[in-house]
C-alpha cells in the first residue's frame, strides 16, 4: 500500500510547489509589470485604449501604433498569460512599446477568464478579435496583410489553438498569418486535476480532444517555440512534442532557448528596460524578420 501512496504524495507535493511558485511569480510579475509600465517610454508611438472587439466586458484591446510611415505595417496580436484565470492588457504596455518602436502595430487583447469561462471560450475570443481587426482595418489605420500572433504561457496556448483546434476556426486573415510565436507555451499536457489550470478546462473532456498538438495540419505559417532555460512551470516536453508534430506535417518550426530566464521573466525581459540584458527581444526580432521577409 505504501508503494502506491508515495508516488501520489510526490505528485501532489510537486503540483503544490508549482502552484506556490506560480502564485509567487504572479505577485512578483504584477508588481514588476506595474513598475515596468510606469517606466516604459511613452514617446514614439500612439495608443488607442479599450477598443471593443466584442460584446463581453473583457472583449477589449489596446492598439499601439508605430510612428513608422510605411504602408502595410506588420501587425502583432499579443495574448497574455496567467493560467487562463489571471492577467490584463493594461499590464503589457511594455510589450506594445517594445515592438511599436521597431515598426510594428501591436494589438494587446483581453479575453474572458476561468473559472467563469472555460476552453474554448478564450480561443473564441482571440478569433473574434482577429476578425474584428481585419474588418476594421481602415477605421483603425492598420493592415492585416502581415500578421504575427504572439502569446506568453496560456496566451501561447491560445494563439496555437486558434490555428490548431478540433473545429477549424473561420479566421478572415488566416492566409496572412506569417508567424506564430509562443513564449513558454503549454501545448501538450494533461490538465486533469491540475491545481494550476483545472478550472480552465472541462475535466470530463480528455486532453487529447483539446491540445493543439493533436490537431496540427500542413500550412504556410512559421512557428517559433521560445523556451525559458529555467522554466519551473511548463515542462520542456510541451515544446519538443509540439515541434516534432509540426515537422511531421512538413511545417516550419524552430525552438529557441533563452538563457537566464524563468517562466515569467521570459516575458518581462522583452521590455526595453531589460532587453539589452537578455536575448529574448533580439531573438523575437530575428525570427520575425525571417518570417516577414520570406517570399
Give me the domains of the chain, ranges plus CATH numbers: 2-292 (3.40.50.1820)
User: Band of the pLDDT at 196, cuts 50, 70, 90?
Assistant: confident
CA 173/CA 180 separation, integer angstroms: 13
Question: With a threshold of 0.85, does the pTM exceed it?
Answer: yes
pLDDT at residue 2 above 90?
no
pLDDT at residue 19 above 70?
no
pLDDT digits over 265-279, tens only?
999 999 988 888 999
pLDDT digits over 34-76, tens only?
566 666 767 788 999 999 999 999 999 999 999 877 677 999 9
CA 97/CA 153 separation, integer angstroms: 20
Q: Which residue has the cell 486573415?
A: 173
User: Band of the pLDDT at 215, cuts 50, 70, 90?
Assistant: very high
**Contact call for residues 77 and 130 (beta carbons, < 8 A):** yes
**Contact call for residues 78 and 109 (beta carbons, < 8 A):** yes
pLDDT digits over 127-155, tens only?
999 999 999 999 999 999 999 999 999 99
pLDDT digits over 223-265, tens only?
999 999 999 999 999 999 999 999 999 999 999 999 999 998 9
pLDDT at residue 10 above 90?
no
**Contact call for residues 180 and 253 (beta carbons, < 8 A):** no
pLDDT at residue 172 above 90?
yes
User: In the structure grid, which three cell numbers stand for residue 233, read together?
Assistant: 512551470
Helix axes 2-39, 93-100, angle to 10 degrees: 60
CA 159/CA 123 separation, integer angstroms: 8
Amino acid at each position: 500500500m505504501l508503494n502506491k501512496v508515495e508516488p501520489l504524495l510526490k505528485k501532489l507535493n510537486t503540483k503544490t510547489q508549482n502552484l506556490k511558485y506560480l502564485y509567487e511569480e504572479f505577485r512578483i510579475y504584477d508588481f514588476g509589470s506595474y513598475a515596468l509600465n510606469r517606466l516604459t517610454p511613452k514617446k514614439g508611438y500612439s495608443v488607442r485604449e479599450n477598443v471593443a472587439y466584442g460584446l463581453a466586458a473583457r472583449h477589449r484591446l489596446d492598439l499601439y501604433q508605430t510612428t513608422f510611415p510605411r504602408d502595410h505595417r506588420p501587425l502583432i496580436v499579443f495574448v497574455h498569460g496567467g493560467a487562463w484565470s489571471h492577467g490584463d492588457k493594461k499590464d503589457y504596455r511594455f510589450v506594445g512599446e517594445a515592438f511599436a518602436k521597431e515598426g510594428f502595430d501591436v494589438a494587446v487583447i483581453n479575453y474572458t477568464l476561468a473559472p467563469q469561462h472555460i476552453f474554448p471560450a478564450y480561443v473564441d475570443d482571440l478569433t473574434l478579435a482577429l476578425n474584428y481587426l481585419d474588418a476594421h482595418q481602415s477605421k483603425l489605420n492598420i493592415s492585416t496583410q502581415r500578421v504575427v500572433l504572439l502569446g506568453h504561457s496560456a496566451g501561447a496556448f491560445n494563439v496555437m489553438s486558434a490555428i490548431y483546434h478540433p473545429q477549424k476556426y473561420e479566421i478572415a486573415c488566416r492566409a496572412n498569418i506569417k508567424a506564430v510565436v509562443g513564449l513558454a507555451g503549454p501545448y501538450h499536457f494533461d490538465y486533469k486535476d491540475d491545481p494550476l489550470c483545472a478550472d480552465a478546462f472541462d475535466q470530463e473532456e480528455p486532453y487529447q480532444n483539446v491540445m493543439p498538438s493533436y490537431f496540427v495540419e500542413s500550412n504556410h505559417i512559421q512557428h517559433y517555440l521560445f523556451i525559458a532555460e529555467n522554466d519551473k512551470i511548463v515542462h520542456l516536453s510541451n515544446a519538443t512534442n509540439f515541434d516534432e508534430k509540426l515537422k511531421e506535417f512538413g511545417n516550419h518550426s524552430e525552438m529557441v532557448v533563452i538563457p537566464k530566464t524563468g517562466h515569467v521573466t521570459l516575458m518581462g525581459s522583452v521590455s526595453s528596460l531589460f532587453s539589452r540584458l537578455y536575448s529574448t527581444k533580439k531573438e523575437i526580432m530575428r525570427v520575425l524578420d525571417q518570417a516577414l521577409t520570406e517570399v
